[in-house]
Amino acid sequence: MRIAQRTRPRRQLDVIIKGSSHNYWRDPYHIMLTVNWPMFFGLIAVCYLAINIVFALLYLAGGNCIENARPGAFFDVFFFSVQTMASIGYGAMYPVTSYANIIVTIEALVGLMALAMATGLMFARFSRPTARVIFSRRAVITPHNGVPTLMFRTANERDNRILEAQLRVSFLRYEVTLEGESMRRFYDLKLLRSQTPSFALTWTVMHPIDESSPLYGETPESLAEMEATLIITLVGIDETVSQTIHSRHSYTASEILWDRRFVDMFDRKSDGSRIIDYSHFHDVK
């Protein structure tokens, strides 16, 4: 299954954090798992070059301790370090002093550990379960069975099923207390259907706006004034890898359309079979 139009990228936190004691670079494992692939390979290359530069300087400090290396030639000892770390062993250059043999032993150990760590990080990135779930670009509020209803669409982009899929929608808004303090409040929205045993195609999520709904009585202007946001989380089990996957999305007040409805994606062929047209996934009328 392929959907012609893709949604915008996931929205990151739009809050500038100050005064936190946590340093981003103090969590290197998390960094290596979350950065994009070009950055990941770039960091691996920088670490690889840095390690070889350090050992090249150590070889230089030992004087003429590498046979067939020109005295004081940095690139000769640098490439000797590369050969040592990779266990290439061309034989043109080799250690001739006890000092050089000690450095070679240390470098061989460091290279073994670095290779194991790089391999583990690569495997962790490839094996991390991910969801390919998309959401409609806009949510709508339209009558459904005579009741104003909040709706949005979601679909599974993969050609498999998400088992025991559970979806949760939270309504976030800023409120002012009686003491004049501004604070963020979360409200869970009750859905007509919040879970499905097998999520394969599309799912139109609906929340009736009745007297018990936090959205009852709100208008586009009031939602914008309180900086309202809908936060959606979906959790399920990927049937292919039998692992839990999750996806998230959000809608701001400006992305909620009033008195609009989604274009029907289903049609029926002349032979009576039904077809689904994903080119209308984001369309509203």
Q: Give the DSSP letter of residue 21.
A: -
Q: Over the stretch 238-250, which tens digit does the pLDDT of each residue have?
A: 998 888 999 999 9
pLDDT grade, residue 9 (50/70/90)?
Answer: very low
Average pLDDT over residues 13-24: 60
Average pLDDT over residues 77-87: 92
pLDDT of residue 249: 94
pLDDT at res. 273: 76
Q: What is the pTM of this model?
A: 0.73
CA dist 263 → 224, 250, 260, 278 (Å)? 26, 21, 10, 11
Residues 179 and 171 sit within 8 Å (Cβ to Cβ):
no
- The more confidently predicted of residues 277 and 219 is 219
pLDDT of residue 7: 43
Residue 38 predicted with pLDDT over 50: yes
Dihedral sign, CA of 82, 83, 86, 87?
negative
Beta-bridge mates of residue 173: 185
Q: What are phi and psi of 255, to 5 degrees?
A: -100, 10
The residues near 20 (Cβ < 8 Å, ≥ 6 apart) are none
Q: What is the pLDDT of residues 212-226, one digit of tens each?
A: 999 999 999 999 998
Give the angle 281-255-200 at the CA atoms, nearest 5°.
30
Residue 176 has phi, psi (to 5 degrees) of -110, 125
With a CB cutoff of 8 Å and minimum separation 6, the contacts of 37 are: none
